[in-house]
Structure 1
Amino acid sequence: MNTRRHHRAGKRLVLSLAIVLAAAALPATAAQSAGGFDGDADNVDTAAHWAARSTLANAVMFSGLGEPLELSMSELDELLKHAGYVARPPMPEMALVGAVYAAGSPRLGDDADFAKPQTLAWQANTFDRTLDPGAQAWTLAKVASPEFHLRYHDRKPDRLAALLMLPQAQAQAEVLERRLLDPRRLFAARGTDGRFAEPNARDQAAVLWGVSNLILAATSDRTDYWHAAYRDLVDPTAYRALAGMAFEAVNELRPTTPADRALAIEALGRYALTTDDRAGAFRLAREHADALLESPGRALEDVALAVYGLNEAGRLLGDDDFSKAATETFRNDLLPLWRARVGVFRTPEADTGFSYTPLRMGAVAAALNAMRWHAGDAVAQQAADIYPRFMETVLAEAGLQLASPLPLVAPGYREAEPAAHFAHPALPAPTEAGVAPVFASAVHRDDDGWRVTDDRFHTASAMFLANMLVGRHDGQADPFLPGNQLSRLR
């Protein structure tokens, strides 16, 4: 398969991925399953996986929110082979995008039917066609996250769906390198008029994270179907120059907020796993971790991501001081913001009303997962106790998840687990709500309760949250540096 993808506007691709979801499609009423929600932290991880999976699938496979991607039949045959097919399955119609657009309305048409994926496209006149590096990078990072593609991917159609994202990842990397590097060699959003916006530090880290994920996928010696396909079909050398440019961009446009420093630490750790020249990555990661030791900030996103960043710095650098600081920051700075009555974290000044966005929820999810999977027993239990309530509040009660992902869950998986593990029963069916099962951009709570205040889909923030909503597979979770590879760095 070519290591570079071509994505030309004006042509929709007819692909067999539609069969993946047509086979899984359920009646609209199935989303409102009988029985109440009785989730613990492990069960909620399943719901988190499907919330992220539904958001990704709708964004890059159904909505048309991006530049149509062309794929030759020979390339498709390679993907089918790695998914386990010996003959081409039926090929219903659907759109597959490469480069993703910045935003759009996720409203569905009256004819929306999950058995006919071509009916799930969003209204193109609602699209913000800005090419945003954060949107490309967070989508690329999720697409190239291995554990995500190894959970609930036992069936050939699921594996095909995962592998059809491989050329999408290549297209997103290509647009970052060829079209979103500004004259200063920084990654910046670019409007339809060709003008660059002002770059920001978070996008530089996101690009480094995403491209490093792609290289790691193509160089892993793991023997599962997904890694075997990336080894065979992706040339990692084609992306090392882009990773180097992203590293230089992270070095040039330094993060200044605790949240951005934390994300830079994770991105630098991933880059260190892809290169023999690690000294610069270690130096920058330690610099940012030292800054988090000095001040984790006061804003909720800053405090939460400081917990995550310090945890990852301790693991990356083998420095227990950072790991201990992560736990202390969780105990002293984040836990006091927990409001059990309403089921969310909030800062004191927000007591009269407060909002959640995908960025804010993703930050808190990262902190809670860092503690429940990497902290000592007592703190891990505290985080595990809070996590299900927090997830239920923000995704279901507040409405940050606009509709249920149950129509995407194949019946075979539902035979083994209750429907409420895959989606909160309070979430409406997409066809009943008239909206795709993706993340809204903002919800707000005041004296009258929760309401959705921005139901547009913003790709960068939604895909950031999709990267943070995960479950573990064989002891690994995608937003955390792979423990089985960290030992070789030291």
Structure 2
Amino acid sequence: TQPPPTPTQSVEPTATPIPFDGTAAEEEGYWYSRYNLGNLVFRSALGETFKPDPEIIKSFIQLADANPDDGDTAAPKKGVAPLRAVYASGDPHYIQKLDVNDFGTQRWDPASFDTTITARAMGWTMIKEIEWSKQFHVDNHFGTPQDDFGAQWRFVGLLLNAEAKQQGLYALQNLKNEQGLIADSDGQIDWSGQWVMLEAYSDLAAALKADALPHSASNRYHNPQQASVFGGAADMLFASLTDRQPADIEELSLAIQALTWYAATTDKNGNQADALQRITRFGDMLAAAQPANATERAFVIRGLIEAYRTTGNDTYLAAAAAAFEAMAADFNPETGAFDSQNTYTIDNVAVIMGALNSLKFFGGNAVDAGEVEDIFTNFFLNAVNKSGLQQSVPPIPVAKGEFEQDEPPIFFGYPTIPKPPMAGGDFGIAPVFAAEVTWNGSGWEVTDSRFDTAGAMHASNEFIWFHNDEVNGFPEVVALPPSATGVRNGLAQYDATAAEEEGYWYSRYNLLSLTLQSGNGETFMPPKEMLMAAIKMVDADPSDGDTVVPPVNPAPLRIVYAGGDPHLAQALDPSDFGTLRWVGGDTRITTEATAWTIVKELEWAKQFHVDNHFGTPDAPFGAQQRFVGMMMALMPKMQVKAWMEEADRFDNSLAGDYAMLLALSDGAGVYGAETLPHSAGNRYADPDAAAMFAAAADQLLQKVLASEPTGVRDLSIGIQALVWYAANTSNADNRALALDKIAAWGETLAQTPHSLPVEHATVARGLIEAGRITGNDTLLDAAAKHLGLLLAAYVSETGAFSGQDTYTADDAGTIMGALNAGRLFLGDRIDQAKVEAVFAGFFEGVVNLGGLQISAPPINLFKAPFEQEEPPIFLRYPALPVPPMAGGDFGIAPVLAASTTWDGSRWTADTAHFDTAGAMHSINEFIWFHNDEVNGFPELP
């Protein structure tokens, strides 16, 4: 059992105010962090000690000091007591007279120790050792081994790194249970401690793996083999926590923080994606939590800032800002405490200061920066300094290099805090934190002077992270190169439904980015009167709270370029489409790119017209999306006119002619329909446009019927185009001609030689259309045969297919389209379970982890609130970066790369090129996953 708290200690206010500001708080935090760590892990003996091998110590000295004759040397301190495990708590009173040069005189009373070894104390101590070992490795602060200063502290950094490894191994060898969790030494599981240990192992593995540490040209701790051990420990804990649902605000916050460290340091892209998904899930829960006091609000802020940083979701920042607003209203500047809370444990202080510090760095305009700084300074001054929480501070010359002693004295400790020998008891108190302080209504008092290891090390970590310019406690999550480990390594819960839903959203991201944001073509601006009329058509009651806000500076296209560089040309502002323009560069104009874009616009116009999804003009939701549907229905008219009137500017091909026949047929159907599918009306009805599209389709049909496709791609697209024509034409004779040609080309396609996996998919996609529209079972049987060849080539480790290493955007659409068609129309001709597995595996492996979809916006961008309620995995794959983080100076648009290639160990996506035809073809196939709302497999009338 834990010994009782020691007697209270009252701390009286000083008579004369001492100047104190945020810089003083930051600097004192740095030194208090260092005092607490050094006294715990080198002096106190509060744990199981070990004696380092003398040869290892000798090697550390050599690593730290390349020139021992320069007057600056490293040497072990007398009486040092390094720890391989830390105890839960102890009384930090000295038990003999202090000699600053003999650490053996600075022991604490072992009779006072709570000898429980807890996951939380071990984890926070390991992190503290790792973070300070990084601090002692900053070249321009503590020098390099060639310099004539800092050798002792470089040596201390090596000792701290060694202790962290010893403690990490101790936990694995002595505390790990059968579930892969780190139990306390009494066998109990502290769930918050599990997350802290996940953070600790992640931090340690990353430090050991790095070729060079931050702000340094080297890494004296570099050890890939040890990094693998501790990285494996992090993976173990991550897996063991898969189904853990945090129980309260504190655990939610610690879980998000730990998952951020894990996502930032793991080399497994699937695990990174899973971690980001969990961060989103826990972030949503934390944003909805109802904190009751300052500490709980601080946990909310600290966790949500990490969720915001890693996901880019402004909702988390807004919720953190709201928690701070409540926190600020609760703060009493006269007492330096919060009215909701009089007693503060050291762990409470840790998270409150950590939350305020995170807002200083990342709160931006969401909070009042001046107010944050004021509370940060005032609370530190009172709850840490005046309260007696920091129980003593050493004299300036002690435990510091001479080169460190030139700062203002207040940076090293608050003047009223006593020196260790005068802090209390017969021999004094170590310069460490008390476990608890209380504002009693008239002054501060220490209500538990014991040293709580977990809380003190937590605070010491948060305090050193005040200086994140040297030691960064807010690691950046950078999306891993897809399949960097050589296997797909995807999400355990990823399935075909996730692929369907992501396909829907990727389709939408690609379309909106190209046609309204990119400027990748020749633009036009509809007359204001036309826009106002469109707004009235989609929103019958503007006073219902659901109104249309036309985008600022859109760039609708009348001519679409064949490709371009989708890197953003300036810093992104989601509220201004003008900031979403692409670098571009490819100004070729092709019939195929134009046609597939028209189809995509028409299909999404239909989607935005589905009454039970986006509402009717009378509904109090969906007005913005219905307005976008009007824009999507307008652009095809402009694009077809340009194609007809400026034909000499367009590069033509068989596939282009076929795709344009499909587009014209689709348009004739959309503009000519009295009602659209799943809707009671048709806001896009336009008899003149319908006639123009139908006439152009009839004319182009003759050219198509006279063509002689030979390759499988031309044959397949030709068949699909003729199916669309036959389903939409009112000319019975032409329909009959189209059906005859479909049957003939189907037979040819079934016999055309091919070998690549994508060609198997191409053949299957065309044969399914030919077979289902003509009722020819032989063609459907042949489709099943070729789709079976595709399934047989599937390699689950990569999510791709043997025999093909490069996948274009067009390939992805063809493969996913064939698998989708097989699910819908081949029935028991094919192994449907295998189709489902490959459907999910290819989408996750190649589209997501392969980097084919370059980026995805945060969940709260470009979506209505009612659309954001789905599981986060439906809206974006967690490993995908948000656009600003996807590459280049300003980021990359959320579109498909031109291609991605597997080199045997990793994927490399061509993110500098966007292939309009391939991408638009692909995302048509993606929206047709949802053929219950937008049917990409039309039926004959």
Q: TM-score, normalised by structure 2?
A: 0.44
Q: 1:429 to 1:49 in 2, by over 3 A?
A: same
Output the amino acid matched with 2:608.
H
Checking the alignment, whether the CA contact within 8 Å between 1:220 and 1:231 is kept in structure 2 is yes
1:137 counterpart residue number: 595
- TM-superposed CA distance for 1:271, in Å, is 0.8
2:785 counterpart residue number: 328
Q: How far apart in 1 are the matches of 2:910 and 2:513? A: 21
Q: 1:171 to 1:227 in 2, by over 3 A?
A: farther
1:281 counterpart residue number: 738
Q: 1:178 to 1:110 in 2, by over 3 A?
A: closer
- TM-superposed CA distance for 1:396, in Å, is 1.5
1:30 counterpart residue number: 311
State whether structure 2 residue 912 is matched by structure 1 residue 455.
yes
Checking the alignment, whether the CA contact within 8 Å between 1:60 and 1:97 is kept in structure 2 is yes
Q: How far apart in 1 are the matches of 2:532 and 2:771? A: 44
Gaps spanning 5+ residues in structure 1: where?
A: 1-25, 183-189, 191-195
Q: TM-score, normalised by structure 1?
A: 0.82
1:162 counterpart residue number: 629
1:235 counterpart residue number: 689
- TM-superposed CA distance for 1:143, in Å, is 1.0
Greater RCO (CA < 8 Å, at least 6 residues apart): 1
Alignment of 1:391-470 (within 5 A): 391-406=843-858, 407-415=861-869, 417-433=870-886, 434-470=891-927
Q: How far apart in 2 are the matches of 1:450 and 1:432? A: 18
Stretch moving more, 146-155 or 106-115: 146-155
Output the amino acid matched with 1:202.
A
Q: How far apart in 2 are the matches of 1:405 and 1:295? A: 42
State whether structure 2 residue 727 is matched by structure 1 residue 252.
no
Match of 2:833 among 365, 369, 381: 381
**Secondary structure at 1:98's aligned position in 2?**
strand
Alignment of 1:34-45 (within 5 A): 38-45=493-500
1:59 counterpart residue number: 514
2:797 counterpart residue number: 341
State whether structure 2 residue 722 is matched by structure 1 residue 271.
no
**Secondary structure at 1:95's aligned position in 2?**
coil
Output the amino acid matched with 2:879.
A
Q: 1:471 to 1:316 in 2, by over 3 A?
A: closer
State whether structure 2 residue 933 is matched by structure 1 residue 480.
no
Match of 1:355 among 806, 813, 833: 806
Q: How far apart in 2 are the matches of 1:28 and 1:116? A: 22
State whether structure 2 residue 832 is matched by structure 1 residue 372.
no
Checking the alignment, whether the CA contact within 8 Å between 1:304 and 1:367 is kept in structure 2 is yes
Q: Supply the RMSD in Å over aligned alpha carbons.
A: 2.6
**Secondary structure at 2:851's aligned position in 1?**
coil
Stretch moving more, 298-307 or 58-67: 298-307
Q: 1:28 to 1:326 in 2, by over 3 A?
A: farther
Output the amino acid matched with 2:773.
L
Q: 1:44 to 1:130 in 2, by over 3 A?
A: same
Output the amino acid matched with 2:673.
S
Checking the alignment, whether the CA contact within 8 Å between 1:262 and 1:308 is kept in structure 2 is yes
2:573 counterpart residue number: 113
- TM-superposed CA distance for 1:387, in Å, is 1.0
1:128 counterpart residue number: 586
Checking the alignment, whether the CA contact within 8 Å between 2:746 and 2:779 is kept in structure 1 is yes
2:425 counterpart residue number: none
Q: How far apart in 2 are the matches of 1:27 and 1:160? A: 30
Checking the alignment, whether the CA contact within 8 Å between 2:812 and 2:847 is kept in structure 1 is no
Q: How far apart in 1 are the matches of 2:908 and 2:633? A: 37
Q: How far apart in 1 are the matches of 2:657 and 2:693? A: 16
- TM-superposed CA distance for 1:232, in Å, is 4.5
Q: 1:389 to 1:106 in 2, by over 3 A?
A: same
Gaps spanning 5+ residues in structure 2: where?
A: 1-306, 317-476, 478-489, 616-621
1:100 counterpart residue number: 560
**Secondary structure at 1:56's aligned position in 2?**
helix
Q: 1:283 to 1:233 in 2, by over 3 A?
A: closer
Instruction: Report % sequence identity.
Output: 27
1:22 counterpart residue number: none
Q: How far apart in 1 are the matches of 2:820 and 2:689? A: 33
**Secondary structure at 1:255's aligned position in 2?**
coil
CA deviation profile, 1:59-112 (whole Å, cap 9, x unmatched): 010011111113122322332233224558444332222211122111114421
- TM-superposed CA distance for 1:403, in Å, is 0.3
Checking the alignment, whether the CA contact within 8 Å between 2:809 and 2:915 is kept in structure 1 is no
The alignment covers a number of residue pairs equal to 436
Checking the alignment, whether the CA contact within 8 Å between 2:608 and 2:628 is kept in structure 1 is no
2:675 counterpart residue number: 222
CA deviation profile, 1:279-326 (whole Å, cap 9, x unmatched): 211121111101122236223332101111111111111222212221
Q: 1:405 to 1:280 in 2, by over 3 A?
A: farther
- TM-superposed CA distance for 1:440, in Å, is 0.6
**Secondary structure at 1:118's aligned position in 2?**
helix
CA deviation profile, 1:2-23 (whole Å, cap 9, x unmatched): xxxxxxxxxxxxxxxxxxxxxx
Q: 1:365 to 1:117 in 2, by over 3 A?
A: same
Q: 1:336 to 1:227 in 2, by over 3 A?
A: farther
Q: 1:159 to 1:476 in 2, by over 3 A?
A: closer
Which entry has the higher C-alpha Rg, 1 or 2?
A: 2
Q: How far apart in 1 are the matches of 2:866 and 2:708? A: 48
**Secondary structure at 1:238's aligned position in 2?**
helix
**Secondary structure at 2:927's aligned position in 1?**
coil
